[in-house]
Amino acid sequence: MKIYRVMVVDDSAFMRKIIADLIDEDKRLEVVYKARDGVDALEHLSTIQPDVITMDIEMPLMNGMEALQKIMAVRPTPVIVLSTWGDTDTTIRALQLGAFDFVCKPSGSISLDLSSVKTLLIQKLLAAGKSEMKTLAKDTKTVTNEVHHCEEEVSFQHHNDNEVRSIVAIGASTGGPKALQQVLTSLPKYFPAPIVIVQHMPAKFTASLANRLNAGCSLHVKEAEQGEPLLNGKVYIAPGDYHMEVVERPARHYTIQLNQNEQCCGHRPSVDVLYESLYTLQHVKRLLVIMTGMGSDGAQGMKKLKQLDDVGTIAQSEETCVVYGMPRSAVRLDVVDHIVPLEHIASKISLFLK
């Protein structure tokens, strides 16, 4: 049995002990070093060589954000950020800089009861230990060059026709924020379809994700709201803890519907719920894109829609996924038209709409 070596980084000695004790309770994990801050972590990174790191954000000398960037430059290692509910912007930025995932500490002025998130922490540590770090550590300059190339490859002329003829639906989980950033910034400015996205993420964090994506994207990215119409060139991200559906009401007019029905595939929002809502739509082409993430959410919804005409499907390729769970499940059902590296997904989307 593979045992994954974990470095715990936190400026509180008590929190380091609490976190380490929780991790050591699982026989598949072993805490090999407890660092008091980012400087301590970097000094021991090469000698300890952990498989995965838990990282607090607020620390003296060198905070978690600085440490994360230096780790990715020196010895890329999966990092699980231990976040607080009020620090959503910093958490999203950490994910875009290459953090594998995050776990929210329990709410409260003093967050000591980490046992309430033990199951989730262990699950993400194990997934991180198995991940391929090359997808997290990809050079940002290389990504930027690919972005310009994709935009030049397929472009759309600006026009005033607001009729929605196509809808692009994207599902993502672990590794999604960084992958979404690359795809959305690679799309041309005058994009002739609305894009609806389910990114597995808790409430409040999705608004920060939408804001950060919007700041670096030529398209307008926002957190979806109940009842709002879908417009070409706009990107709508499902709010955390809400399923998002698309309904046609009236004919040829498509709007967002949010609900808090039971979880699907263990998630709310769920990719399957979004995909399946597109099944009954009339007069519109549908493109389903499934990207990096744990589990199988989205595969069954994709299978259902593949029975229809005017439905295309794309899965992110294994070598560019942080976790090849959701795309693998769709591929195994034989419902994927194109398996595409992350850097080419935007151009493949654009080609579908031409």
pLDDT class of 159 with cuts at 50, 70, 90: low
The model carries a pTM of 0.90
* Rounded distance between C-alpha atoms, residue 154 and residue 149, angstroms: 9
pLDDT for 109 equals: 41
pLDDT for 113 equals: 61
Q: Kindly tell me if the per-residue pLDDT of 149 is higher than 90.
A: no
* Rounded distance between C-alpha atoms, residue 28 and residue 46, angstroms: 22
What is the strand order of the sheet 101-104 is part of?
A: 29-35, 4-9, 52-56, 79-83, 101-104
Which stretches of the chain are DSSP H helices? 13-24, 38-48, 64-74, 88-96, 118-130, 140-153, 176-186, 205-215, 271-277, 299-305, 326-332, 342-353
pLDDT for 42 equals: 97
- The answer to which of 124-138, 172-186, 302-316, 330-344 has the lowest mean pLDDT is 124-138
Of residues 237, 245, 246, 255, the one with CA closest to residue 201:
237
Where is pLDDT greater, at 223 or 251? 223
Q: Name the range with the highest mean pLDDT among 77-86, 123-132, 218-227.
A: 218-227
* Rounded distance between C-alpha atoms, residue 214 and residue 347, angstroms: 19
For the four alpha carbons of 98, 103, 104 and 105, in that order, the dihedral sign comes to negative
Where is pLDDT greater, at 210 or 109? 210
**189 Cβ partners below 8 Å, 6+ apart?**
158, 218, 219, 233
Active site members: 173, 200, 297
User: Has domain 4-133 been given CATH number 1.10.3720.10?
Assistant: no
* Rounded distance between C-alpha atoms, residue 335 and residue 289, angstroms: 11
- Which helix H or strand E contains 198, and what residues bound it? strand 195-199
* Rounded distance between C-alpha atoms, residue 221 and residue 223, angstroms: 7
Q: Do the domains 140-353 and 4-133 match in fold?
A: yes
Q: Kindly tell me if the per-residue pLDDT of 154 is higher than 90.
A: no
Percent of the chain topping pLDDT 70: 89
* Rounded distance between C-alpha atoms, residue 172 and residue 308, angstroms: 23
Q: Where are the domains of the chain?
A: 4-133, 140-353
Q: By the 8 A CB rule, do 53 and 41 touch?
A: yes
* Rounded distance between C-alpha atoms, residue 354 and residue 315, angstroms: 19
Structural class in CATH, domain 140-353: alpha beta
Average pLDDT over every residue of 33-37? 97
Q: By the 8 A CB rule, do 136 and 100 touch?
A: yes
Map 275-306 to HEC letters. Answer: HHHCCCCCCCEEEEEECCECCCCCHHHHHHHC
Other CB atoms within 10 Å distance of the CB of residue 210: 23
DSSP for 243-271 reads EEEEEE-STT-EEEEEE-PPPBTTBSS-H
* Rounded distance between C-alpha atoms, residue 126 and residue 68, angstroms: 19
Please, what's the largest Cα pairwise distance for the chain?
63
pLDDT class of 221 with cuts at 50, 70, 90: very high
- Distance from first CA to last CA of the chain, Å, rounded? 50
pLDDT for 239 equals: 98
Output the CA angle 269-97-141, nearest 5 degrees. 120
